[in-house]
Chain A
Amino acid sequence: MNADQEMRWSVEELRLTFKSGKTRSVGWRKTQLRAILRLIHENEDTLFQLLKSELGKHPVESYRNEIGVVKKSADRALNCIEKWMSPKKGRLPLVFFPASRKVLPEPLGVVLIIGSWNFPISLTLDPLIGAISAGNTVVLKPSELSPNCASFLANILPSYLDPKAVKVIEGGREVSNQLLQYKWDKIFFTGSTKVGKIVMAAAANNLTPVTLELGGKCPAIFDFLSNSDLKVAAKRVASGKWGPCAGQACIGIDYILVEQKFASTLIEQLKKTIKKFYGDDAKNLKNLLKIINKGHFDRLRSFLEDPAVANCIVYGGSFDDTRLIIEPTILLDPPLDAEIMTEEIFGPLLPIITMDKIEESIEFINSKPKPLALYAFTKSENFKKRILAETSSGSVTFNDTMIQFLCDDLPFGGVGQSGIGRYHGKYSFDTFSHEKAVLERSFYFELEPRHPPWSNFKLQFLRLVYNYDYVGMLLLLLGLKRPSNS
């Protein structure tokens, strides 16, 4: 049996499992969610080690961005699943009497989740929790760029989760291409804009709905701040830029916008913070992640090869080829047409762009594709309002970074180039559900004018119905109101 046949067979098996109706029961869903909790609990140390060796993640970071996130999502889904699954009922206007309506969420079927390498555990298991709580069967395709995590998932998932309903398929581009040819009921993709387009084009062949979690250049607007606030803000910027996976995060800060007068103060504070967090010895940086592979490492280095860009470096800029580590690097006003300002950076380089007035940042952001996240450090309520009303982005966070990811009640997802659809908490459940409209009527009380042959009387009557003019309807029925001729 070749690989393609094997995959086809896997998907076919999932389709059969879905058809059997097994995955629709609350019991099944809860068992699976508990199994995910058990999986991360029992394998916590293995996961810490894996993430440390593959990406250099410190256990605190692994817990904060991966294991903890999955645990929180699964806990929440377990607590809320009955509520999420219950139909939303509502009243109907009297003219439909007697009738009832409800909106009933139902699973979509067999879904494909394509994960990403930067958070190899949370970006696969978190959507999986959504797909399972909605009652779907799932193929999980982890990224081939974090192969150890991928094979860990492939080996361990079958012993915890129902192997007839959840399958992990490992592989690179070829396998992805093959998978994209099949007919799915939903494709959930996390990754780059370029691949996002390929996924959506493939989905179009089968009219498959997609959720695309992409990235983009997430800006941070930096207004004037008092000294004490600046200290806190600098910490948050540092942890939003170099903290999560050394800038290799879709909601990491890409660049900062600040007023010219304030730039040097900000840079000084950032330098202090970097030294505190990561040490000041460029050869011996602590708590900083490595770049995922040589390809990405070289891509980041090539940004700085442009002399016009290299001249702008005000801090850092050293590369450790053997450990694939790049020092936290700050650039002041690199040319706006340089690659570092046109491409998503996805690494520990931080350009700072200065402007005469901080309000100009709105126009600056609007001249670029819509980002996944927008950060703004400001105390001005007026400016906050303007940012909200005049810019567009997946999310906006005031005076902090990254943390919106932890809010289950906030939808997480992009807009425009930064993605389609959203997840987290109830939104994950919705992403993998179809909201079925259900209307129930009885055989009593037939509204005669609904049916042909048509007459002026019926037209007049229905005009009143549409206006919910019950008195008028009654008068007309009693013959007290003359049908008009128009």
Chain B
Amino acid sequence: MEALSPLREGPDPNEAAMDVAGDLSKSMIKFYRRYPSITHRQHRSFSLQIHASLCRLMLTITMASEEQVKNSTAPAMFDTEAANCLMKELRSTFLAGKTKSYEWRSSQLKSLLKMLEDSDKQICDALFSDLSKPEMEAYIHEIAMIKSSCKLALKKLKDWMKPEKAKTNLGTFPSSAEIVPEPLGVVLIISAWNYPLLLSVDPVIGAIAAGNAVVLKPSELAPAMSSLLAKLLGKYLDNSAIKVVEGAVPETSALLEQKWDKIFYTGNGRVARVVMAAAAKNLTPVVLELGGKSPVLVDSNIDLTVTARRIVSGKWGCNNGQACVAPDYIITTKQYAPVLIDSLKHHLVKFFGEDPMNSPDMSKVGHSRHFARLKKLLDDDKISGKIIHGGQTDKSNLKIAPTIVLDAPEDSLIMSEEIFGPLLPIVTVEKIEDGVEFINSRPKPLAAYLFTNTKQLKEEFVSNISAGGVVINDVTLHLMVDTLPFGGVGESGTGAYHGKFSFDAFSHKKAVLYRGFFGDAPARYPPYTPGKLRLLKALLDGSLFGIIRALFGFS
């Protein structure tokens, strides 16, 4: 459709730059083969330099070509009219029944898998350019996650699509019943910038598996990934049923005016309210994947080394705290806090070196607006003098050092909003059990974590704390278990996905009842008599004896 991708004459400048990048990486591999003794550090700094010069090159080419485009045609805007047009096209594809077949679904999932396999490098580059995400993180948290989710969907698709038999009762005898999953129709997926690949493609997998036509709106705050997704999905998937619309607020508003059969939104509570209110106009069901302040309760009878490692890597090793399931704050006892803090500091140095601001293993802060917000949290008067580790910021490179804040007051900014960054407040309590009370006095988080060896505390935590998910003795790991539903409750969201749950999120479960023409109980029909009432009572009770009694006229 023209409105979506303005036609450009001649070679695509981005493609040209990508080709150059491809050639360069090939020669780098040759270079490494010749000099196998090169260290990891040297490799990183070398590739960083190359990346920087490549970015400059791409920018120059793009600007030059944009100049050309400006001279030839005005760029097309994605407005309400374009959205109408898009919806019309997708609706007709869906109504034609194309997306419903098993063959279509599996072929799309297969191409998606191929896309991921072919584009490893481009994806890592885009993630690096948007977020300085280390390749390792890009791989484990994004590429590998969706690969396994795609493989699972391919493997289980036939099972998932099968109707489920349902029991019938005496009241409807003789009959048979089943529950048939069917696609909802045309769905909208609005994704976030922090895991711009995972949070876009993972729901798309669910939507395709369930047989829907899809529009994906990637986040404009991760521009490189947004345009890469537009390019890749356009190239590998069926464009008559799967579209990417790039853009920011005006484009999203135009999209939200349409009547969707499901809206799947990942992001924050403020926008989620706007999305749900827009959905209400058309009675569109929503899945809202939000965040919240996910607490970590740390008991004192634990394996300290393992605990500290898991927390440090979950907080700073997952996109530098910019993950919806990242630990937001720690609660521990007054006595244990110093021990825990020492261990956290120790592991921070071990993982990210003495100068974490320049560590290649740490992502940067997503964008400048977000940086300013985090800076405000740090500059809050209420926590002055309470920063016991880190606190350095570098505005030009959008870097903030891993920071620990001890005993921030409950009304400080850092303790009242979701942090979503490398700052970690530690709250101390007298008794560890008080932590449960503390968590329960706040909005329900997306995840709640507990480190302990006490069975009783585990049980209390699991049964009394309401959160999207609960992990004992680890953090963030539940996200990787595809047999667990992933989603929030209350302020942290509505609905869940991952594995079979993704399929369900994009399906309607149709109740189907088959009847023959025999076995008609006259009690159902007027004219009504007391005898019919008795029989009906017996039928609904499912008591055979009662039915016989009623039929023979005893009461």
Contact = CB atoms under 8 A, between A and B. Distances in A.
Interface of A: 19, 21, 24, 58-61, 63-64, 68-69, 71-72, 75, 90, 92, 96, 99, 101, 103-104, 106, 108-109, 185, 193, 196-197, 200-201, 203-205, 207, 209, 212, 214, 228-229, 232-233, 235-236, 238-239, 243, 277-278, 286-287, 366, 384, 388-390, 392-400, 403-404, 406-412, 415-417, 419-422, 434-443, 446, 450-456, 458-459, 462-463, 466, 485-486
B369 interface: no
B512 A388 contact: yes
Contacts of B313: 450-452
Contacts of A96: 477, 480-481
Contact of B526 (A75, A204, A278): A278
Given A63-B533, A409-B168, A459 B540 contact: no
Contact of B32 (A58, A441, A485): A485
B485 A412 contact: no
Contacts of A59: 528, 533
Contacts of A450: 140, 313
Given A204-B277, A207-B273, A400-B515, 12 more contacts: A60-B532, A203-B276, A207-B269, A207-B491, A286-B526, A287-B528, A394-B510, A403-B172, A404-B172, A440-B472, A459-B139, A486-B29
What are the nearest 7 A-B pairs in CB distance? A454-B136, A204-B276, A200-B280, A60-B528, A443-B303, A287-B526, A395-B511
A411 B515 contact: no
B472 A438 contact: yes
A207 B532 contact: no
B513 A462 contact: no
11 contacts: A71-B540, A201-B277, A229-B517, A232-B520, A389-B100, A392-B185, A394-B510, A396-B511, A439-B477, A443-B473, A450-B313
B494 A207 contact: yes
B509 A204 contact: no
Contacts of A201: 277, 280-281
Interface string B427-460: 0000000000000100000000000010000100
Main secondary structure of the interface of B (DSSP, over half): mixed
Given A101-B483, A437-B478, A453-B351, A443 B302 contact: yes
B171 interface: yes
Given A443-B303, A456-B40, A104 B273 contact: no
B169 interface: yes
Main secondary structure of the interface of A (DSSP, over half): mixed
B127 interface: no
A443 B307 contact: yes
Interface stretch (B56-64, B80-88, B175-183, B407-415): B175-183
A83 to B, nearest CB: 14
Contact of A393 (B147, B478, B510): B510
B13 interface: no
B471 A439 contact: yes
Contacts of B79: none
Interface string B466-493: 1111111110011011011110011101
Contacts of A451: 309, 312-313, 317, 351
Interface residues of B, number: 111
B327 interface: no
Residue from A243, A287, A409, A411 having most chain B Cβ neighbours under 10 A = A409
A96 B480 CA distance: 10
B470 A439 contact: yes
B184 interface: yes
B352 interface: yes
Contacts of B184: 415
A404 B485 CA distance: 29
A435 B136 CA distance: 32
Contact of A466 (B144, B359, B361, B532): B144
Nearest to A277: B526
Contacts of B515: 397-400, 403
Given A410-B177, A440-B472, A68 B532 contact: no
Given A68-B536, A420-B285, A104 B462 contact: yes
A410 B511 CA distance: 6
Contacts of A203: 276, 280
A467 to B, nearest CB: 8
Contacts of A466: 140, 144, 147-148
Nearest to B540: A68
Given A185-B490, A407-B168, A412-B511, A439 B481 contact: yes
Given A200-B276, A400-B515, A101 B484 contact: yes
A438 B462 contact: yes
Given A204-B280, A403-B515, A277 B261 contact: no
B469 A439 contact: yes
Interface in B179-201: 179-180, 182, 184-185
B508 interface: yes
A433 to B, nearest CB: 10
Contact of A443 (B306, B513, B523, B537): B306
B514 interface: yes
A407 B172 contact: yes
A229 B519 CA distance: 12
A209 B276 CA distance: 10
Contacts of A437: 468-470, 478, 481, 484-486
B137 interface: yes
Contact of A454 (B137, B279, B484): B137
B53 interface: no
A395 B458 contact: no
A399 B514 contact: yes
A407 B170 CA distance: 9
B466 A436 contact: yes
B21 interface: no
A174 to B, nearest CB: 21
B512 A395 contact: yes
Given A400-B513, A446-B306, A454-B134, A436 B473 contact: no
A439 B474 contact: yes
A145 to B, nearest CB: 22
B509 A422 contact: yes
A440 B510 contact: no
Contact of B512 (A68, A235, A396): A396
Nearest to A467: B148
A69 B171 CA distance: 11
B527 A207 contact: no
B360 to A, nearest CB: 8
A435 B95 contact: no
A442 B511 CA distance: 42
B239 interface: no
A207 B276 CA distance: 8
B302 A410 contact: no
A233 to B, nearest CB: 7
A63 B472 CA distance: 49
B33 interface: yes
A71 B179 CA distance: 24
A463 B137 CA distance: 12
B179 A277 contact: no
A454 B514 CA distance: 58
B385 interface: no
Contacts of A366: 95
B245 interface: no
